[in-house]
Chain A
Amino acid sequence: MLLIACPYCGNRPETEFRCGGQAHIARPADPGALSDAQWAEYLFIRDNPRGIHAERWNHVHGCGRWFNARRDTVSDRFLATYKMGETPQSQESNSILSTSTQAEARA
């Protein structure tokens, strides 16, 4: 079970959260102007990387807020969590980041 640092509440167990899939896919301003292929791309195509992945999380059984995270899909280690609209601090260079040091980085 992951330990997730909600930007509003701090570290909480994964069971309080719902994952919302890939982050930073903005809903098109004018969907009607998109071709079927472009609309399908928005709806269905996902990066699914083996490595660093930006994804959305909702602290559904906590504060209820949506936020973004960067996580390594190979190690499941979180590199950052950040509020909607913020840009993540780049922590990719830290090769080994334990959950605790991650928590300290956030504090």
Chain B
Amino acid sequence: MRRFSLSSLLSESLNGHRGWGRQWRDPQPKPAYDVVIVGGGGHGLATAYYLATVHGITNVAVLEKGWIGGGNTGRNTTIIRSNYLYDESAALYEHALKLWEGLSQELNYNVMFSQRGVLMLAHNLHDVQSFKRHVYANRLNGIDNEWLTKEECKEFCPPIDISGSLRYPVLGGALQRRAGTARHDAVAWGYARGADARGVDIIQNCEVKGIRRDASGAAIGVETTRGYIGAKRIGVVAAGHTSTVMAMADVRMPLESYPLQALVSEPVKPVFPCVVMSNAVHAYISQSDKGELVIGAGTDQYTSYSQQGGLHITTHTLDAICEVFPQFTRMRMLRSWGGIVDVTPDRSPIIGKTPVENLFVNCGWGTGGFKATPGSGHVFAHTLAKGEPHPINAPFTLDRFRTGRLIDEAAAAAVAH
């Protein structure tokens, strides 16, 4: 791997940039690998990277049906935060956030992790109580999160309308200053480049069509559009397509795949300094380095693999944006799109073993998986390397749906009465 540095960039500048080689190879699949990862999104690529760097396992293939980072990695609104309520989630997302903080240097790839702060607005008394619960819990878990009055919210993010004329006026907010955004595509590319440099084969345009199992039922490899590939262990990291892949091994999952939409405005000069989330009115907004307002919409109500949703979801989101930021009504929507998010019954991920020997799964990230990318890859690599979960992902079992030990962050933020 040719390291990126100021001097390499400058010397290439004089050379018409002819010296830059491929950021990752385009290898032919080998007959077998120690670990095969199904899914070349951020989580899958991060898993491969940490298998190689932390566990020294480099005989690894990442199989991607299309192009790497082409699923939810390249379709999300890039919000990164760790201010989760429950200890289990807080540990997982904080683990990820700590890795984000050094990721550009670790990967020698600028993923533009920008700690501009995530401000979550409270619009009713119930929100206030719920956010304070988060703030207090986070503090005791060593996670920064602070309560701001509405005036402090306005000071931190001047575009917010804190007047009483809103249908649901802003009453205050919870701010995590270490939270922020990153350049989503670069995360996939950076991990791919780092993994490839250590020997991992990243194989694009390679769709898994079956999972081969031996007489004992253990998984031993995958059938793909580019032939059979043997594997000592298989990690499925296929997001919205996880149910389909796991069905190849006769494993039924507690997952449903929904369209999730997002949109951007035309680019404008800096006007929005942070990330604002408003669960009560369903608005999520930040401004990209390119200048676009990046706005997250909600999921459609039905399962779908179409990567397209209804206009009413988009308009509902913009209703909320223009309610809280009335000066943006004259802005224009430039592009909207959809992803497919896999949602579990408690809306927390499943990371660990499956009933099939040698088959592991990392899924169910729902609408919030991007922020976890480094942490998810790190603990899943551990799980694949050791055959047992890392303490951080140990609670995120498939079995919790049997025992009832759910990790339901959304229920904990129950609506007001």
Contact = CB atoms under 8 A, between A and B. Distances in A.
Interface string B396-417: 0000011100000000000000
Interface stretch (B195-203, B225-233, B248-256): B248-256
B256 A36 contact: no
B256 A21 contact: yes
A53 interface: yes
B163 interface: no
Nearest to B406: A44
Interface string B294-305: 000000011111
B312 interface: yes
B93 to A, nearest CB: 23
B244 A50 contact: yes
Given A1-B311, A44-B254, A19 B301 contact: yes
Given A2-B302, A14-B310, A45 B256 contact: no
Interface stretch (A71-79, A80-88, A90-98, A99-107): A71-79
Dominant SS among interface residues on chain B: loop
B7 interface: no
Given A19-B301, A40-B402, A48 B243 contact: yes
Given A50-B305, A55-B302, A44 B257 contact: no
A19 B402 contact: no
Nearest to A21: B256
B105 interface: no
Nearest to B255: A48
A74 B306 contact: yes
Interface in B240-274: 241, 243-244, 252-257
Contacts of A73: 257, 303-306
A24 to B, nearest CB: 15
Contact of B402 (A36, A48, A49, A71): A36
B312 A45 contact: no
A14 B310 CA distance: 9
B345 interface: yes
Interface residues of A, number: 27
A36 B312 contact: no
A48 B345 contact: no
Given A73-B303, A74-B306, A46 B255 contact: yes
A21 to B, nearest CB: 7
A37 interface: yes
Given A46-B256, A48-B243, A74 B305 contact: yes
Contacts of A43: 345, 401
A1 B310 CA distance: 4
A3 to B, nearest CB: 11
B401 A48 contact: no
B303 A45 contact: no
Nearest to B244: A50
A19 B302 contact: yes
A18 B304 CA distance: 15
Given A50-B241, A50-B305, 13 more contacts: A19-B301, A19-B302, A36-B402, A44-B401, A48-B253, A48-B257, A49-B244, A50-B243, A71-B302, A73-B305, A73-B306, A74-B306, A76-B302
24 contacts: A14-B301, A14-B310, A14-B312, A19-B301, A19-B302, A36-B403, A37-B402, A43-B401, A44-B254, A44-B344, A44-B345, A45-B253, A45-B254, A46-B243, A46-B254, A46-B255, A47-B252, A48-B244, A48-B253, A48-B256, A49-B244, A74-B306, A76-B304, A76-B306
Interface of A: 1-2, 14-15, 18-19, 21, 36-37, 39-41, 43-50, 53, 55, 71, 73-76
Closest 4 CB pairs of A and B: A48-B243, A44-B254, A1-B310, A40-B402
